[in-house]
Chain A
């Protein structure tokens, strides 16, 4: 049986018509849906987000009620927020709720030539009377940024301490301020991570010497850290 050109063309254009019709219907369907059901779409997205968040947060609360150790709850809901006095660079950051905090110096008494140190440890802050490793130590030092960084130059040059630029968001206008993140042998026999930032004529350092909590330092504290340079 012979099939004529007209029949073939009818088949091709017929198929094209069907495809074009399907495409047009799909586009119109979407257009009509987004135009007419706008409020439902927005409300549904809000409800889904609310439900998803409630399920996630609810699980944390239930775990806490059930007696799961709070140190194992690692969501923003379980973070505590640290806010230093304004005169100390307005430092703010999150840290695990189960950590203890010890403000070594009286913020109202500290003068320009003194240090301001805050210690953080899991459970109880260990004594600061003798040198020992802590989960986190935040310090404002009256020495210059260059002088503090220079103290680590030997280890950086010898390759046992890595130094990379690190940007921190300031409070004002979300401007990023650059500092240096050190990772490795901070001192003889002490491995840790330390962020050094310049704040006015002083230097701000944030340091973690304990391997067990270094992930918290990187994942919780550093991403939430802000200050006023």
Chain B
């Protein structure tokens, strides 16, 4: 006689594990099938959205760079850098706009060992040819001469009234002295060009700061002359 409480009896007549396994199997197959069907669609949608997100991110980055570039350029426009001449020419130093370039043309090492010239201009220094002094923002020229000889060079134009002479007081907290300024047709080569030059005596030489570009006058007077100094 069969024991109705044996394990075998319980399994046969009790919980239907076989049916449960079949139900799980059918559901699992169904879900796997559903997943296989849905996966490519999900990938397609995901790829599209990610591509759109990447493009939007790139566009946002470009727009942000443009905003930040503007802010950075505004900061750069307010900053300055330092120019220092060689010790042989008085160790002249001054600040000038960060956005300017500078070029030392004569540095006392070539054939002309007594002259020193530096050209400054916004962006790029333009060719240092016959027109170079007119087209660049500022030209610094040191030569072995004296103020009397320079004054004689302007004598004729001053008599004609095309050049005006006045004294320029340099008082920037670091230097306190007076120079000579000539304004008007100061060029001996081109009577159509007008500008100004300020001369200072440095030991046995004369420093001249030439400017023919009206737009750069503020930077020259406020930044360059506001910070210039040298070893006397």
Contact = CB atoms under 8 A, between A and B. Distances in A.
A151 interface: no
Given A6-B21, A48-B57, A64-B75, A24 B7 contact: no
B45 A20 contact: no
Interface string A14-48: 10110111011001101100110010011111111
Contacts of B25: 9, 13, 16-17
B49 A38 contact: yes
B61 A53 contact: yes
Given A20-B31, A20-B35, A6 B17 contact: yes
B102 interface: yes
Contacts of B101: 99-102, 125
Given A20-B32, A53-B68, A64-B72, A124 B103 contact: yes
Given A70-B79, A127-B110, A129-B106, A46 B72 contact: no
A42 B59 CA distance: 11
B81 to A, nearest CB: 7
Contacts of A130: 109-110
A77 B131 CA distance: 34
B38 A45 contact: no
Contacts of A64: 72, 75-76, 79
A103 B127 contact: yes
A136 to B, nearest CB: 13
A129 B128 CA distance: 11
Interface of B: 7-8, 11, 17-18, 20-22, 24-25, 27-28, 31-32, 34-35, 38-39, 41-42, 45-46, 48-49, 52-54, 56-61, 63-65, 67-69, 71-72, 75-76, 79, 81, 83, 98-107, 109-110, 118-119, 123-129, 131
Interface of A: 1-2, 4, 6-7, 9-10, 12-14, 16-17, 19-21, 23-24, 27-28, 30-31, 34-35, 38, 41-50, 52-54, 57-58, 60-61, 64-65, 70, 76-78, 82, 97-106, 118-119, 123-127, 129-130
